[in-house]
Structure formats: C-alpha cells, structure tokens
Amino acid sequence: MKFFCFALLACLNTVMVLAEDPLPSWKEAPAKQSIIDFVQNVTTQGSDSFVPVAERIAVFDNDGTLWCEAPLPNQAVFVLDEIKRLLPEHPEWKQDPAVAALLGGDLAALKSDQYAGLIKLIALTHTGMSPDEYTERVDRWLETARHPRFGCSYTEVIYQPMLELLDYLRANKFETWIVSGGGQEFMRVFAEGTYGIPPQQIIGSHARMKYELVAGKPTLTKTIDTLFVDDKEGKPVAIAEFIGRRPIACFGNSDGDQAMLEYTTIDNPRPSFGLLVHHTDADREYAYDSNPPSSGKLTTALEAAPQRDWVVVDMKKDWNVVFPADGKKEN
C-alpha cells in the first residue's frame, strides 16, 4: 500500500511538473530554453550528464543579478542614510574626510586610496555593534527607505524571473547560494524572506567578529578586522572556503562575476551552466554595461561569454516582467 501511494504520488507530481511552466516570467526564447535544458540534463536519472543532488550547487551574485543596483547599490544608500541618521549623535564625524566626501557627493574621493574612505564609512555604520543590533538597523531602514525611481521598498526591486529561477532550481534539488560583493550580514537580514535563501547559504564581503562574555552573556561584536572583499577572484576563493565544492551553475551580471563564472564552467568535470544578466531595459529598469550608473561594469565577461558558452540574458527581450509588482499590474 505504501509503495502504491508513493508511485501514485510520483506520477501525479510528474504530470504537474510537465503541465506547469516553471519560468512564466521568461519569454519563450533561447535563454529560457537553455536553463530548462540544463536542469533537465543534470536531473535525468541514468543519463551521462546526471549530477547527484549533493553536487547541485548554484551560486548567484546579488546586486544587479537578483535585485536592482541602480542608481546606487542599495547598501550604499543604507550607508548614506545611516550616516545622516546618526550624525546628530556624532558631531565629530563632520570633521572626518570620508563623511565630508559622502555628504558632499564626492564619490571619487571615497574611492581613492584603495577605497579607504568607503571602508571608513562602512566601519562607522557596520561595526562596534552586535549582529542583532545591526540586523535591527537594516530592518528598520528596509521598512522605511524607498527606491528613488520606483518608489517601493528595496526588497521589491528584485527580479521576478530570477525568483522563479531560484524556485525552479530548488524544486530540482539544487542548493541556491548567494556569492556577492555586498555585505554578508546585510544580505542575511532580508534574503531568507525575500529570496528563500537562508543565512548559511549567503556569502558576502565580511570581517571577523569578536566574541566575549559580557556580564555573563555571549556577545558578538562586528569589526572591520580581516576584511574580506567577496568580489572578482575573491568569489571562487569564498566558494572554496564556505562551500568546499565546485558549483555547477553560476549567475552574475558583471565583470566582478567573471572569476566565479570561469571557476564554475571551465574544466568542470560535471556539466555546468553560466549566465549573465545584461541590463538592456531602460524603460522598465536600467540599460548599462561598460558605463554603469554606479556598480556593475560589464565588459570583459560579456566579451568572454560566447567563447565560454555563457548565456547572456537580454533583460528587455527575455523577461516578460522585471519586478514582482509588474506582474501583478498585468494580471
């Protein structure tokens, strides 16, 4: 009886999967088909290209791949808003060249001297507190801050087609990871609710915390020590350190993802898949590659894509909707 039930359920599930389109926000075009082909390829029992569940690791960049990164990366807006919010408590900050550059809009000054100014601003807004206190600050900001162009919360300027892709991969027993230059603890605040990705599958830029018992209570404090920037060659390094297994699928949108795309797709003993989101839709979102509004420069990775067989998503042509709210308006 038990076996009969299982067999019946398996049949029902197969029928349902065949009947439903797992990627309704993707237009019927080669990019969508290549995703479906790859997933069917590695999940078909008995085929040469079958990949065991334990090795179905998919890694996603965040800024510009899962959510909007223009006109400024969302975390940069958080830093700016936090500096402004905290300034009355810290009048001495006004004398800090980094704070002055930020308030004066002098982004070039923040980037000079190997981003020393930017790191100082991150230290002012991201350290000296517990991860719980930091989480509260990010939560409070996410509740109130609004995207300057779209007028909605920053957790709503996420890409509906990529949400469907995450779900589709997980339905096929992939483990979905974020590997992003963004702050690791920053993303962990919202990624579980927003993307269904738990904190332990989120790798980002991070620094070493400090642990001690304070008044008998376990206390972690965020610091800027041993800062690790999870970008470019740092991405495969972080994947090896946190995951310890080569991904078979990698999704990015900029030259900062090129190293992890290469690590995923070149010389991989397993079938592998690489994809770049190309921002081509100025009407619905933004159009940029070599000259982005802020982050997300895409030149060398785009050039390498044909040779590497990386799928390049043309946002304008490949996506029916961009943000979840767009789909709701249409329905």
Footprint on this chain of its own copies (rule: CB under 8 A):
1-2, 5-6, 8-9, 12, 54, 57, 131, 175, 184-185, 188, 192, 198-202, 206, 208-213, 216-218, 220, 226, 228, 233-234, 236-237, 240-245, 259, 262-263, 266-267
Q: E-strand spans in 72-124?
A: none
Q: Which is nearer to Ca ion, 101 or 313 (CB)?
A: 313
Taking the C-alpha atoms of residue 257 and residue 262, their distance in angstroms, rounded to an integer, is 9
208 binds, options its own copies, Ca ion, none, Cβ within 5 to 8 A by partner type? its own copies
Inter-residue contact 206 to 219 (CB < 8 Å): no
Q: Is 205 in the site for Ca ion (CB under 5 A)?
A: no
Q: Which is nearer to its own copies, 82 or 262 (CB)?
A: 262
Q: Verify binding: residue 285, Ca ion, rule CB under 5 A.
A: no
Contacts of 269-272 with CB under 8 Å at 24 or more apart are 270/42, 270/51, 270/55, 270/246, 271/38, 271/41, 271/42, 271/49, 271/51, 272/247, 272/248
Cα(8)–Cα(314) distance, integer angstroms: 41
- Residue closer to its own copies, measured from CB, 161 or 204: 204
209 vs 228: CA distance, rounded Å: 12
> Is 180 in contact with 187 (CB distance < 8 Å)?
yes
| One of 23, 35, 51, 61 touching Ca ion (CB under 5 A) | 61
Taking the C-alpha atoms of residue 156 and residue 8, their distance in angstroms, rounded to an integer, is: 39
CB-closest chain residue to Ca ion: 64
Q: Does 255 bind Ca ion (CB under 5 A)?
A: no
Whichever of 54 and 108 has its CB closer to its own copies, that residue is: 54
Reading the block at residue 139, the tokens are 């939560």
63 near Ca ion, rule: CB under 5 A = yes
Return d(Cα 232, Cα 318) in angstroms, integer: 26
CB of 93 or CB of 247, closer to Ca ion: 247
Shortest distance (Å) from residue 218 CB to its own copies: 4
- 254 lies in the binding site for Ca ion (CB under 5 A): yes
Task: Pick between residue 262 and residue 318 the one whose CB is nearest to its own copies.
Answer: 262
CB of 264 to its own copies, least distance (A): 8
Q: Would you state the torsion angle of the CA atoms of residues 154, 159, 163, 169, taken in this order, to the nearest 10 degrees?
A: -130
How many Cβ atoms are within 10 Å of 245's Cβ, its own excluded? 13
Residue 272 interacts with Ca ion (CB under 5 A): yes or no: no
How many Å apart are CA 212 and CA 223, to the nearest integer?
Answer: 13
- Nearer to its own copies by Cβ, of 95 and 114: the residue is 114
By CB under 5 A, tell whether 253 contacts Ca ion: yes
For residue 148, what are its two tokens?
């300057």
- Closest approach, Cβ 322 to Ca ion, in A, equals 16
Q: Could you tell which of its own copies, Ca ion, none binds residue 280, using a CB distance below 5 to 8 A set by kind?
A: none
Q: Which does 61 bind (CB under 5 to 8 A by kind): its own copies, Ca ion, none?
A: Ca ion
Q: Nearest CA to 61 among 246, 186, 202, 185?
A: 202
Q: How far is the CB of 210 from its own copies (least distance, A)?
A: 7
Binding region for Ca ion (CB under 5 A): 61, 63-64, 253-254
